[in-house]
C-alpha cells in the first residue's frame, strides 16, 4: 500500500501508549515512517520532542470524530491502538482499518470486544485485506505464541494435551483496572456474544473442526501442581480463547488438541485469597453504583513507576503431554509483563506486519497473533530479550 506512514500509534500519550512510543523510537529501523496519534495536539508535540525523533509524524484523532479516525486509518499501513477500555473506545478504529485495508494491532484482554469485532468486521477485513490482530501484549502473546512454539517441537500426527501455567509479579495501571472491571460487569453480554460467534464459526459441540481434527478447552480445577512448585487455579482470561482459535485453524496442533489454563500461586492461602478477590470484584462490578466505586480506586492514565516495573517479571510454563506417554515442557519468560514487555510485544507485532517477509499467509480478517505473525514474531521477541525455551523433554509420569 502507498501510505504516508508505515506505522501509526494511536493513544501515544497514554500510559501504555507512551511506553510503546519509547520502544518504537529506540528500536524501529531508521527508515521506518512512524506517526504518533491522539486527541491532544500539545501532548503529542511534547512527546515528539522528548523522543528526539524530529521525523515523527503527528496525527490528531479522536474516537468521537469519525473523519479523524478514518484519516488515521488511511494514513498508515499498520495502526497500533492502546486506547481502552476497548469496549468503550475501540470499535471506531477497528471499523476504519477494516474498511481501509489497514493492518491493526492492539493489547486488549476484553473477550467481548474481540468477539464483537469478529462478528462486525471479519468479513469486511477479508474483503479489504486488513489483518486485525487483537491481544498483542501480555494478553495473549506469551500463551498464544508459547503454544505455537511448543507444538512446533512436537509431531503433528499425535494427540496433544497442553496446559499453560502463568506466573507474574507486577502492578496494573488505571486503564487496565478499568478494562477488567468493565469485563467483569458484562459477563452475561460477553457470554451471549461468544455464543453468537461460535454459531457463525460453526463450532461443533464435541470440538471437531472443519478438517476432522478435534480442538477442545478443558476446564481445570484448583490443585497443588508439582510441575510449577505451587498451587494453581483456572484462569478466566482471554488467553485460552486465542490458543484454541489458533489450534482450530492450524493442523500443526495435531489431530486431537486440548488446552487448560491456570494462574500459579505459591501457597494455598494465596490461592484462596485470589479466588475470593476476583469473586468480590466480579460481584461488585455487576451493579452500577458499586461499579462506579470500584472505578474510582484507580484513575485512567496512571501506572506503576519505572522502579516498580524494573522489579516485575513473568514466566509462562507450558506442559505438553503427547503421543503415548511423552512430555515436553517449555517456558516463555520476560520482565515487567503488563507494561514494559507489553509495549515491546505490541511494537514488535506492528513492526513484523509492516516489514517482515515470511509471515503466515492468512490474508485479511481477524486472526490470532500466532496465526498472523507466527515464528517471525517469536524470532523478533527472542532478539528483543523475551525467552522462548525448551525446559525438559521427558516421559510423562
DSSP letters, 175-234, are HHHHHHHHHHTTHHHHHHHHHHHHHHHT--TT-B-TTS-EEEE-----EEETTTTEEEEE
* Claim to verify: residue 119 and residue 170 sit in the same structural domain: no
Report if residue 316 sits inside a domain.
yes
Query: Do 244 and 317 have their domain in common?
Result: yes
Query: Does residue 5 surpass a pLDDT of 60?
Result: yes
Q: Indicate the Cα dihedral angle 174, 309, 339, 387, nearest 10°.
A: -150
| Residues 218, 359 within the same domain | no
Q: Domain holding 350: CATH number?
A: 3.40.50.720
Q: What is the mean pLDDT of residues 350-355?
A: 98
Q: How far apart are CA 316 and CA 393, in angstroms?
A: 16
Taking the complete model, does pTM exceed 0.85, yes or no?
A: yes
Lowest mean pLDDT among 59-63, 298-302, 366-370: 298-302
pLDDT confidence band for 202 (50 / 70 / 90): confident
Domain extent, residue 22, equals 5-136+342-377
pLDDT of residue 242: 98
Confidence of residue 274 (pLDDT cuts 50, 70, 90): low
Note whether 329 and 369 are same-domain residues: no
**Do both 30 and 171 map to the same domain?**
no
158 and 299 both lie in a single domain: yes
CB 240 within 8 A of CB 164: yes
264 and 126 belong to one structural domain: no
Residues 256 and 115 in one domain: no
CA nearest 7: which of 29, 30, 32, 43?
32
Q: Which three cell numbers stand for residue 330?
A: 517449555
Report residue 205's pLDDT band, with 50, 70 and 90 as the boundaries. confident
In a domain, 207, yes or no: yes
Asked if residue 382 is part of any domain, the answer here is: no
Same domain, 225 and 368: no
Indicate the number of domains in the chain.
Answer: 2
Instruction: Output the CA–CA distances (angstroms, integers) from residue 283 to 238, 279, 289, 297, in the order listed.
Output: 19, 6, 12, 16
Mean pLDDT of 279-288: 61
Query: Are 373 and 391 in the same domain?
Result: no
Flag whether 201 is in a domain: yes
Place of cell 493492518: 103
The pLDDT of 239-268, averaged and rounded, is 93
Q: Is 397's pLDDT higher than 50?
A: no
| Three-state secondary structure call for residue 216 | strand
- Residue 147 above 50 pLDDT? yes
Q: How far, rounded to the nearest angstrom, does the alpha carbon of residue 295 sit from its chain's CA centroid?
A: 23
Q: Is 250 a domain residue? A: yes
pLDDT at residue 396 above 50?
Answer: no
Q: What is the pLDDT of residues 149-185, one digit of tens each?
A: 999 999 999 999 999 999 988 666 666 666 777 777 7
Instruction: Please tell me whether residues 119 and 155 are part of one structural domain.
Output: no
For the chain, give the mean pLDDT.
90
Give the percent of the chain with pLDDT over 90.
73
88 and 148 in a single domain? The answer is no
Whether 101 and 73 have beta carbons less than 8 Å apart is answered as no
Match 456474544 to its residue by C-alpha cell: 193
Residue 50 lies in a domain: yes
Amino acid at each position: 500500500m502507498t501510505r504516508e506512514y508505515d506505522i501509526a500509534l494511536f493513544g501515544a500519550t497514554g500510559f501504555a501508549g507512551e511506553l510503546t512510543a519509547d520502544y518504537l523510537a529506540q528500536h524501529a529501523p531508521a527508515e521506518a515512517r512512524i506517526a504518533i496519534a491522539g486527541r491532544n495536539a500539545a501532548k503529542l508535540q511534547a512527546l515528539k520532542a522528548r523522543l528526539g525523533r524530529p521525523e515523527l509524524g503527528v496525527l490528531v484523532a479522536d474516537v468521537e470524530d469519525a473523519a479523524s479516525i478514518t484519516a488515521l486509518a488511511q494514513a498508515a499501513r499498520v495502526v497500533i491502538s492502546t486506547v481502552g477500555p476497548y469496549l468503550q473506545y475501540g470499535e471506531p478504529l477497528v471499523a476504519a482499518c477494516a474498511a481501509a485495508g489497514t493492518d491493526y494491532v492492539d493489547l486488549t484482554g476484553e473477550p467481548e470486544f474481540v468477539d464483537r469485532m469478529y462478528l462486525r468486521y471479519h468479513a469486511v477485513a477479508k474483503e479489504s485485506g486488513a489483518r486485525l490482530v487483537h491481544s498483542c501484549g501480555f494478553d495473549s502473546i506469551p500463551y498464544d505464541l508459547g503454544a505455537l512454539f511448543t507444538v512446533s517441537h512436537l509431531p503433528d500426527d499425535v494427540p496433544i494435551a497442553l496446559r499453560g501455567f502463568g506466573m507474574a509479579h507486577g502492578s496494573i495501571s488505571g486503564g487496565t483496572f478499568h478494562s477488567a472491571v468493565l469485563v467483569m460487569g458484562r459477563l452475561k453480554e460477553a457470554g451471549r456474544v461468544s455464543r453468537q460467534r461460535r454459531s457463525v464459526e460453526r463450532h461443533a459441540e464435541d470440538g471437531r473442526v472443519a478438517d476432522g481434527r478435534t480442538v477442545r478447552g478443558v476446564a481445570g480445577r484448583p490443585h497443588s501442581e508439582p510441575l510449577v512448585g505451587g498451587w494453581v487455579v483456572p484462569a478466566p482470561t482471554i488467553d485460552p480463547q486465542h490458543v484454541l482459535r489458533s489450534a482450530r485453524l492450524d493442523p500443526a496442533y495435531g489431530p486431537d488438541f486440548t488446552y487448560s489454563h491456570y494462574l500459579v500461586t505459591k501457597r494455598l492461602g494465596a490461592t484462596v485469597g485470589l479466588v475470593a478477590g476476583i469473586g468480590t470484584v466480579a460481584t461488585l462490578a455487576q451493579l452500577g453504583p458499586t461499579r462506579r466505586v470500584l472505578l474510582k480506586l484507580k484513575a485512567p492514565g496512571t501506572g506503576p513507576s519505572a522502579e516498580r516495573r524494573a522489579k516485575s517479571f513473568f514466566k509462562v510454563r507450558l506442559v505438553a503431554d503427547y503421543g503415548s506417554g511423552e512430555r515436553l515442557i517449555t517456558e516463555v519468560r520476560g520482565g515487567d509483563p503488563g507494561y514494559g514487555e507489553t509495549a515491546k510485544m505490541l511494537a514488535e507485532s506492528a513492526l513484523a506486519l509492516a516489514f517482515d517477509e515470511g509471515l503466515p499467509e492468512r490474508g485479511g480478517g481477524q486472526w490470532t497473533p500466532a496465526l498472523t505473525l507466527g515464528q517471525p514474531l517469536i524470532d523478533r521477541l527472542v532478539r528483543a530479550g523475551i525467552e522462548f525455551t525448551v525446559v525438559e523433554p521427558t516421559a510423562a509420569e
